[in-house]
Structure 1
Amino acid sequence: MSQLSALQKPRRWHAALRFLRAPSALIGGVLLAAIIAVALCAQWLRPGDPLELVAEPFLRPGQDPAFPLGTDMLGRDILSGLLYGARASLVIAAASTFISVVIGVVAGLFAGYFGGWLDREINRVTVFFQTVPPFLFALAIVAIVQPSVMTIALAIGVTSWPNLARLVRAETQKLRHGEMVQASIALGASDLRIIVSDVLPNAMTPVLVSSTLLVATAILTESALAFLGLGDPNMASWGNMVGAGREVLRTDWYIATLPGLAIVVTVLALNLLGDGLASLFGLHAER
């Protein structure tokens, strides 16, 4: 056992080096780490309430050293809004992705492993969710209930899982008929033990890769909902800032452009990181 572990360690280190040397993965990881650090340190970098009216409205970037990125039409600090908006957007994206992953993984595992009538019923539910565009579905849910961080995350999460469920189902079906699972069945292992110990760890590849795309999609969806006025009014978010700045886009472009650039950079970082993960897992698959 120790000899096998010793042989596996060089491969793991080699895979990690390949991952770090991949430009897309390295750039995406660094950008995402910087954005997360900014979100965590927002209260130290820019103390105070980002929704507070702190200065004269329509201060342009660089006009006042105290507000390097200027102020919006109400006199709110744009830099504070960007810092705290990163926290709000990432929290909603992380929570919605967690919900999507839990639903998608559970549905895919049970459908792929047990098959039969359970697979057919889960497939019907999946097809139903896929017939309605996720954004319109989330829009309807948020419009019915009171917009808040939790309701927005829940709306995005329960509408974003079908594609992941199909990926996990396909992977589980391949593993279900593999030698490892058949050996566990022959040894008398229970279905739950086989799913948790044998199938789930080996079906995590599409989950990890798809999670980065789910986070990026959730950020875009939350921004779109806030742009339409369905964001949490008690919290600063990039979508709320873009939505507020659209009214003065021609005269004071920076109010909407700066949070828009923050969204673009974050989504780009997540997509680059996803490409790096896909490359890494492709290396494992080849080996």
Structure 2
Amino acid sequence: MVVTTREAKERRGLRLSPRLRQMLRSPSALIGWGLLLVVLVMAAGADLFYPDDPLAMVAEPFLRPGSDPAFLLGTDMMGRDIAAGIVHGARASLLIALMATLVALVLGIALGLAGGFHGGLVDAATVRLTEFFQTVPPFLFTLTIIAVIQPNLWTIALAIGLTSWPGLARLVRAETLRLRHGEMVQASIALGAGDWRIITRDILPNAMGPILVSTSLMVATAILTESALAFMGLGDPNVASWGNMVGSGREVLRTDWYIAALPGAAILLTVLALNLLGDGLADALDPRSRQ
């Protein structure tokens, strides 16, 4: 009888939630997780794989990929190891993207919840502020901020985050308005629950599905924005990032295409992974897909 009870507990422990099973059945989610795992391993183990400075000149310039076993992906016009730059660039690009997404999440969720829950003047002010930020293209807004302040990892992340929140705020506001007039929230109000408890217990957990999907897309957009800024010479020159590598390689694109193409491929695969992951999350969190 003891063995039977133990086996039952083990089976219950191995039982997967419907949402997780849905994600595991999604080819796009599995491919996205696999590609993203490779990027995360590169970012976490950059110092282990390439302990030296990735910006150091370590060999003769313009070594083609595969021409020297010590530098599998070749070297750029300054004699820097391209493989080391890509591995260390994963850390820089992901750090900027995650910090920018965190800033956008805090602003977007806070303003969306405030406007959708309280309504009235608070909602009107939130809508007007969101519309003001959306009148200017986010990239131009980010470009203006970076042009005024000194570009480094933190200021670039802050600038991207400050211009990325309006879409999320509108999404959270719409979800909050829908839930605010639902039976669950009305029941909590009738029981005397406070605003903070209703927001944190009833509204925010039920709005997390769209927020999670949007978060994966925001990280991908932040990576592309940082790369575009670095391509234009507005990245952090003291840090190896994929955008900086693509920007420096554009000068020799016709003769030595691999200098820009290899970090560009890293950007492409990372953004693809995040988009596939977002598709998988959308399918898993869709109530119509549950069995």
- TM-score, structure 2 length as denominator? 0.93
Looking at structure 2, the residues matched to 109 and 11 of structure 1 have their Cα atoms a distance apart, in angstroms, of: 34
Check whether the contact 1:245–1:255 (CA below 8 A) recurs between aligned residues. yes
Equivalent pair of 1:28/1:273 in contact (CA under 8 Å): yes
Q: Is the 8 A contact 1:25 1:275 kept in 2?
A: yes
Matched, 1:196 2:208: no
The CA deviation at 1:12 is: 5.6
Q: Which deviations, in whole Å up to 9, do the C-alpha atoms of 1:16-42 show, x marking residues without a partner?
A: 122111100000011101110111001
- Aligned partner of residue 170 in structure 2, secondary structure: helix
- Give aligned pairs, total: 280
Q: Which amino acid aligns with 2:221?
A: T
Candidates 97, 103, 111, aligned match of 1:99: 103
Unaligned runs of 5+ in 2: 1-11
Task: Output the amino acid matched with 2:241.
Answer: S
C-alpha separation between the residues in 2 aligned to 1:285 and 1:162? 29
1:72 equivalent among 73, 76, 80? 76
Q: Which residue does 1:3 correspond to in 2?
A: none
TM-score, scaled relative to structure 1: 0.95
Distance in structure 2 (CA, Å) of the matches to 1:217 and 1:15: 25
CA 243–267 in structure 1, closer or farther in 2 if over 3 Å, else same: same
Aligned counterparts of 1:111 and 1:62: Cα–Cα separation in 2: 57
Taking only the aligned residue pairs, the percentage that are identical comes to 65
Partner in structure 1 of residue 241 of structure 2: 237
Pick from 126, 148, 157: which aligns with 2:130?
Answer: 126
Offset, 1:198? 1.1
Q: Deviation of residue 241 (structure 1)? A: 0.2
Whether the 8 Å contact between 2:32 and 2:273 is mirrored in structure 1 is: yes
Structure 2 match to 1:143: 147
Aligned pairs for 1:31-180 (under 5 A) are 31-180=35-184
Aligned to 1:28: 32
Secondary structure class of the residue paired with 2:17: helix
Query: Residue 13 of structure 1: CA displacement?
Result: 2.5
> Deviations for 1:202-224, whole angstroms, at most 9, x for unmatched residues?
11111100000000000000000
d(CA) in 2 for partners of 1:171, 1:12: 27
Structure 2 SS opposite 1:245: helix
Deviates more, 1:10-19 or 1:176-185: 10-19
Contact 1:50–1:77 (8 Å) recurs in 2: yes
Aligned-partner Cα distance in 2 for 1:113–1:12: 34
Once the two structures are superposed, residues 185-243 of structure 1 have per-residue CA deviations (whole angstroms, 9 ceiling, x without a partner) of 11111111111111111111111000000000000000000000000011000000000
| CA 1:87–1:16: 2 relative to 1, 3 Å | same
- Listed as ranges, the gaps of 5+ residues in structure 1 are 1-7
Do 2:176 and 2:203's aligned partners in 1 also have CA atoms closer than 8 Å?
yes
CA contact (8 A) 1:15 1:283 kept: no
Question: Is contact 2:246-2:261 (8 Å) kept?
Answer: yes
The two structures, once aligned, show a CA RMSD in angstroms of 1.6
Whole-angstrom CA distance in 1 between matches of 2:82 and 2:289: 46
